[in-house]
Amino acid sequence: MTQKGSMKPVKKKKTEEPELEPLCCCEYIDRNGEKNHVATCLCDCQDLDEGCDRWITCKSLQPETCERIMDTISDRLRIPWLRGAKKVNISIIPPLVLLPVFLHVASWHFLLGVVVLTSLPVLALWYYYLTHRRKEQTLFFLSLGLFSLGYMYYVFLQEVVPKGRVGPVQLAVLTCGLFLILLALHRAKKNPGYLSNPASGDRSLSSSQLECLSRKGQEKTKGFPGADMSGSLNNRTTKDDPKGSSKMPAGSPTKAKEDWCAKCQLVRPARAWHCRICGICVRRMDHHCVWINSCVGESNHQAFILALLIFLLTSVYGITLTLDTICRDRSVFTALFYCPGVYANYSSALSFTCVWYSVIITAGMAYIFLIQLINISYNVTEREVQQALRQKTGRRLLCGLIVDTGKVLAHL
């Protein structure tokens, strides 16, 4: 009897766990911790109803209401998947939809092309400063870059190759360049040199660990990992090693305050910095690049430079092949600004529009590549340059391309 009585509460415990039931493909756990269904994505949204009412009545909408609406949309935008619906990052969608539409509209007429191709960089810069001011991660630029590569290659195969001016060897070289870009980007997306707390003993952090570190700090320590790691791309002398190893909170109070990261709860090595977007410290942090949605630091700086170089070479080669096909018997530079009859055929007009779009993107990447080469030659990082300009300790040279931070000799 006692055994049977003792088994009854065990049966009750098993029946009191309905939350452990597996989710179907269309169910998910929302941000409030409640089970929801994809079919109810438009139900029970008071903020959206209020926003629509104020928009219909021509009343202003509060910024807080807009943020709540965007948070609700991003939480409910999901696709059915095994063991629960998966969330889709809303910032991925605009490039996939708007880029083909804008390029096709721009190919209708020359004036439309000028307006669209001028407005695209302006919109991209506006969105960049919007997200940069809010210190938020976004997949918009990574999605735009990858989709632009794929769509330009698709237009090249559909509109340029069938004209017979591009040989198999040229197509193979362009395809290899595209794959090399993807490989270099994959390498650049890896760990840029995240600093972990020595108490954890983990040097390579997963995405889940990074999220935890961005929310809370770990235990305080008096040292830092990788004291023998170099702090730059170039070879550093041993003068930096004692400087890095002497970074103890008990030393100079001013220096300890600069090197101590209260968010990550660790002492930063030389030239490391805390990224407010990624929420973690990075060794020899150069900058946070929105095109790869990651920081550029000690471990991935070379891959980042390599990706830029391969992209520039492949893009220029693709532009040359396209202009040689649609504007025959003209030099590349002349055909770029003067190509008679290019808008008479929709196929050639679309190809010409994609060429100019590629030129704009290539010019922007070339500027980033040039700045990176200048910074490497002066052995400074982009963060150090911007910090010197904010503190008014640096001066611009050569039309602003070179910034003398006044601390170059300290790193040589």
The ranges of the chain with pLDDT < 70 are 1-21, 42, 47, 61-64, 197-258, 394-395, 398-401, 404-412
Question: Whose CA is closest to 155, among 318, 363, 19, 380?
Answer: 318
Residues tagged active-site: 289
> Using CA atoms, how far apart are residues 158 and 160, in angstroms rounded to an integer?
6
SS percent in the chain: helix, strand, coil, step 5: 55, 10, 35
Phi, psi of 35 (to 5 degrees): -75, 135
Which percentage of the chain shows pLDDT scores above 90? 33
Question: What's the confidence (pLDDT) of residue 258?
Answer: 60
> Using CA atoms, how far apart are residues 146 and 150, in angstroms rounded to an integer?
6
With H, G, I as helix, E, B as strand and everything else as coil, classify residue 288: strand
Which residue type sits at 195?
L
Question: What's the confidence (pLDDT) of residue 86?
Answer: 79
Helix (H) or strand (E) run with residue 296 in it: strand 294-296
Question: What's the confidence (pLDDT) of residue 400?
Answer: 63
Question: What's the confidence (pLDDT) of residue 226?
Answer: 37
CA distances from 84 to 34, 40, 77, 87 (A): 13, 15, 13, 10
- pTM value is 0.73
With H, G, I as helix, E, B as strand and everything else as coil, classify residue 194: strand
Question: What's the confidence (pLDDT) of residue 319?
Answer: 95
Contact 305, 151 (CB under 8 A): no
**At CA 100, angle to CA 96 and CA 102, rounded to 5?**
115
Question: What's the confidence (pLDDT) of residue 150?
Answer: 95
